Amino acid sequence: MTTTTLDSKVPSGPIEDRWDNHKFSINLVNPANKRKFTVIVVGTGLAGASAAASLAELGYRVRVFTFHDSARRAHSIAAQGGINASKNYPNDGDSAFRLFYDTVKGGDYRSRESNVYRLAQVSADIIDQCTAQGVPFARDYGGLLANRSFGGAQVSRTFYARGQTGQQLLLGAYQAMMRQVHLGNVELTTQTELVDVVVKDGVAVGIVTRNLLTGDTESHSAHAVVLATGGYGNAFYLSTNAMKSNVTAAWRAHKKGAFFANPCYTQIHPTCIPASDEFQSKLTLMSESLRNDGRIWVPDKVGDDRPAADIPETERDYYLERRYPAFGNLVPRDVASRAAKKEVDQMKGVGPLRNGVFLDFADPIDRLGEGEIRERYGNLFEMYERITGEDPYAQPMRIYPAVHYTMGGLWVDYNLMTNLPGLYCLGEANFSDHGANRLGASALMQGLADGYFVLPYTIGDYLSESLGNEPVPTDDQVFKDAETEASDHVNRLLSIGGTRSVDWFHRELGKIVWENCGMERNAEGLEKAISEIQALKTEFDTDLRVLGSADRLNQSLDKAGRVEDFFGLAELMCRDALHREESCGGHFRVEHQTEDGEALRDDENFSYVAAWDWNGGEKPTLHKEPLEFEYVKLAQRSYK
C-alpha cells in the first residue's frame, strides 16, 4: 500500500489561542452575501440539526434531508447519561485544559490535540446555548444547574436531563431548526435518503436522494454539502444503535473519494442488557451512571447456577474492584467491557444463556435505602424490568457489553472538511475528536460543538472562495450519471430474486464482525473475517430476496442498500484493525497487550490517523496523518 501524508490544516501557536486565531484568520462571508449560498445538510441528529439551525440563522440558504419521518427522531435522541462541559460550576478544579487532557488521555492518545482543545473550549458555550433554548437540565434546589461525575471522571462536569439528555438536546436543536423552517431559511425534506454524493472536478457539488415513499430519485446541488449521518455501529448487527442507523451516506461519499479514517475504533459499552435469543433485534444500553453505585461481579465457580442471592459473599468475584482497586467499577468503558468478556469466556457468565455479569445494587440499597436508589435510577430499573421481566431491586441486573459508538468516520481537517473540497462531515460520522476511545458524555458534546460552534465559522472560509458562482445545475451530466447509477442500483437489488432476506444477511455479517473485530481482535481472525465477509457479500449479490417494488415504501429495499454498504465498511474495518499492529482504546489486538492484559500502544509506529482511500474499489490505499502530542504527555493508561 502506498501512503501519503494528510494536511490537517491545524493552526499553529499556543493551543489555547489556536481556535481564536484561526477564526480570525479565515475568510468571512459578508452578511448580505450569505443568502447567495446554498448548503445541503444531510441528517437531523444533534450535529445536523444544530448546524442547519446555526447556518440558517447566519443567513445561508439551507436544505436539510432526513430519511426519518420527522427531524426529531435521529438516534442522538437515545443518549441517556449527559453532556460534558468544562464549566467548573462545582468548583472542583475543572477547566478547558483538564477536559482536553482527559479526552486525549481517554482516547488513548490517538486524537488530534487541536481539535480536542477546541472541543473543550466550546463545551461551555453549548450548555449556555441549550439552556437558552429551554433544555430542561437537572437543577439543584437553588435553581442552578446540577452536575455529576460520569464514567469515572475525577470532576463533576456532566450536565444531564434525567436519563433523557440526548432527547432534550436533540429537541432543542430540532426546535431551533424548525424555527428556521418557519422563517423560510431552511427547506426540510423528510423521508428522503442520500444515495450518492456528486463530485465534479474533485469538488462536492451536490447529492442524489431517493424518496422512500415514492422511490423518486432526485438531484440537489449546492455550494457545500454537510454530512451529519451518524455512526456505523450497526455493522455489528446487534448494537445499541437504532435499527435504521447506517453508514450509507459516509460510505457513498467514501466511494466518491472521501477518506475513511480509523474505522477499527469502535466503542463497546459495558452496561447493556444481554441478548435473550437469536431473534434479538438490538441491544439496549443502560446508562453508565449505574456503575456509580452498582457493583459488578460473577460467581467464583464456573457454571454456578444458583440464584444470585444464594451465592455467599465469599464465593463472589468482584473482579473490577479486585483488578483495579483505584477505579474499581468505574474503569473506562473499554477496560470494563474486556473484563466482562474475559469472565464470560471463562464460562463464569450468568443468566440463562450465560452471557452476562451481575450488576448488583444490594449494597447501595442497604446503605442508602431503596428510596434513594429509586430516585437515582428509577427509570433505568423500570426499563430493565420491562425488557427482562426481572426486578432489579430484588435480584442483580445482568449486563454485557455491546457495540455502542464508533470513533472512526470520514476523515476531516480542522475545518471539518473532508479531503473532498465542499464536503463536510460532522458528529459521529466524522473521526475527529475522540481518538481510539470516547469518554462518557462526550458524544453529545462533540455533535453539538461541530454543529453550533465549529462548522458555522469554518464553512465561510470555503464558501467565500466561490462567491458569485452558481451551484452546478442538476441537469449537468455528473448529476444525470449519478441518478442513473442510483436507479440501476435499486433495480439490481430488486432483481436478484434469491432466497435470503436482508435481515438474514445483516445478522450473518454481524456475527462475523462481532466475533473477529469486536472487543478483541487478532491477525488470524481478521484475515478470516475479511474472506468470510467477501464470501457473504458474493452470496448477498446472488441470493438476496427483496420483494415488492421501488415506487412505494419498501422497508426491505431501503435496508438492503444499507446492509450492502455495511459489507464494504466491515471489510475496511477489519483491514484497518489488521494493519494497526497495536492495541489502543477501542481497538484491542490480543497480540499487543501488557503482562496484565492491558492495551499496549506502539506510539513509535502507529501514532497516526489511518485514512483509507477507496481507490476505485481496488485494494484500499492508506494515507496517514501523523499525530503530535505537545501538551499531553504520552503515557500508558493505568487505572489500578
- The only residue of 312, 389, 616, 617 in contact with other proteins, by rule CB under 8 A: 389
Q: Are 370 and 293 in contact (CB under 8 A)?
A: no
548 in contact with other proteins (CB under 8 A): yes
Among the residue ranges 403-411, 415-423, 436-444, 543-551, the one whose residues contact other proteins (CB under 8 A): 543-551
Residue appearing with cell numbers 475543572:
94
57 in contact with other proteins (CB under 8 A): yes
Q: Site residues for other proteins, window 62-81 (CB under 8 A)?
A: 68-75, 77-78
Residue type, 236: F
CB of 597: closest distance to other proteins in angstroms? 32
- The only residue of 200, 528, 545, 579 in contact with other proteins, by rule CB under 8 A: 545
Q: Which is nearer to other proteins, 335 or 502 (CB)?
A: 502
Q: Which is nearer to other proteins, 8 or 241 (CB)?
A: 241
20 in contact with other proteins (CB under 8 A): no
- The only residue of 2, 31, 201, 279 in contact with other proteins, by rule CB under 8 A: 279
∠ Cα 444 223 52 (to 5°): 30
Among the residue ranges 20-28, 90-98, 100-108, 171-179, the one whose residues contact other proteins (CB under 8 A): 171-179
CB of 240: closest distance to other proteins in angstroms? 8
Q: What is the DSSP string of 414-479?
A: TTSB-SSTTEEE-GGGB--SSTTSPPTT-HHHHHHIIIIIIHHHHHHHHHGGGTTPPPPPTTSHHH
Which residues make Cβ contacts (< 8 Å) with residue 203, sequence separation at least 6? 420, 421, 422
Q: Which is nearer to other proteins, 456 or 585 (CB)?
A: 456
44 in contact with other proteins (CB under 8 A): no
Helix (H, G, I), strand (E, B) or coil at 71: coil
Q: Site residues for other proteins, window 399-458 (CB under 8 A)?
A: 452-453, 456
Per-residue DSSP letter, 630: S
Q: Which is nearer to other proteins, 553 or 634 (CB)?
A: 553
Q: Can you tell me the distance from the alpha carbon of 363 to that of 313, in angstroms, rounded to the nearest whole number?
A: 11
Q: Are 158 and 115 in contact (CB under 8 A)?
A: no
Lookup: cell for 589: 489486538
Phi, psi angle pair for 55, to nearest 5° = -65, -40
171 in contact with other proteins (CB under 8 A): yes
Q: Site residues for other proteins, window 181-220 (CB under 8 A)?
A: 181-182, 190, 213
Q: Site residues for other proteins, window 293-352 (CB under 8 A)?
A: none
CB of 70: closest distance to other proteins in angstroms? 5
Q: Site residues for other proteins, window 143-162 (CB under 8 A)?
A: 143-145, 161-162
Q: Site residues for other proteins, window 448-467 (CB under 8 A)?
A: 452-453, 456
- The only residue of 14, 35, 132, 634 in contact with other proteins, by rule CB under 8 A: 132
Per-residue DSSP letter, 162: T
522 in contact with other proteins (CB under 8 A): no
User: Cα separations (Å) of 639 from 108, 336, 400, 442?
Assistant: 13, 11, 21, 20
Q: Which is nearer to other proteins, 256 or 354 (CB)?
A: 354
Total binding residues toward other proteins, as defined by CB under 8 A: 81
Residue appearing with cell numbers 448477498:
540
Q: Are 395 and 309 in contact (CB under 8 A)?
A: yes
371 in contact with other proteins (CB under 8 A): no
292 in contact with other proteins (CB under 8 A): no
Q: Are 416 and 290 in contact (CB under 8 A)?
A: no
CB of 137: closest distance to other proteins in angstroms? 7
Among the residue ranges 280-288, 339-347, 439-447, 468-476, the one whose residues contact other proteins (CB under 8 A): 280-288
Helix (H, G, I), strand (E, B) or coil at 74: coil
For residue 566, give the nearest of 639, 632, 513 by alpha carbon.
513
For residue 428, give the nearest of 614, 596, 632, 262 by alpha carbon.
262
- The only residue of 25, 32, 91, 142 in contact with other proteins, by rule CB under 8 A: 142
Cross-strand pairs, 402: 269
354 in contact with other proteins (CB under 8 A): no
Q: Are 101 and 203 in contact (CB under 8 A)?
A: no
- The only residue of 556, 597, 621, 629 in contact with other proteins, by rule CB under 8 A: 556
473 in contact with other proteins (CB under 8 A): no
CB of 631: closest distance to other proteins in angstroms? 27
CB of 399: closest distance to other proteins in angstroms? 15
Per-residue DSSP letter, 86: -
- Around Cβ 224, how many Cβ atoms within 10 Å? 26
Q: Which is nearer to other proteins, 44 or 262 (CB)?
A: 44
Residue type, 594: T
Among the residue ranges 194-202, 364-372, 381-389, 473-481, the one whose residues contact other proteins (CB under 8 A): 381-389
91 in contact with other proteins (CB under 8 A): no
Measured between its terminal Cα atoms, the distance across the chain in Å is 39
CB of 131: closest distance to other proteins in angstroms? 4
CB of 215: closest distance to other proteins in angstroms? 12
Q: Are 289 and 148 in contact (CB under 8 A)?
A: yes
CB of 227: closest distance to other proteins in angstroms? 19
Per-residue DSSP letter, 412: -
Burial letters 190-219, b for 16+ CB under 10 A, else e: bbbbbbbbbbeeebbbbbbbbbbeebebbb
- The only residue of 33, 133, 189, 466 in contact with other proteins, by rule CB under 8 A: 133
50 in contact with other proteins (CB under 8 A): yes
Q: Are 254 and 414 in contact (CB under 8 A)?
A: no
Q: Site residues for other proteins, window 489-518 (CB under 8 A)?
A: 501, 503-504
Q: Site residues for other proteins, window 235-264 (CB under 8 A)?
A: 240, 242-244
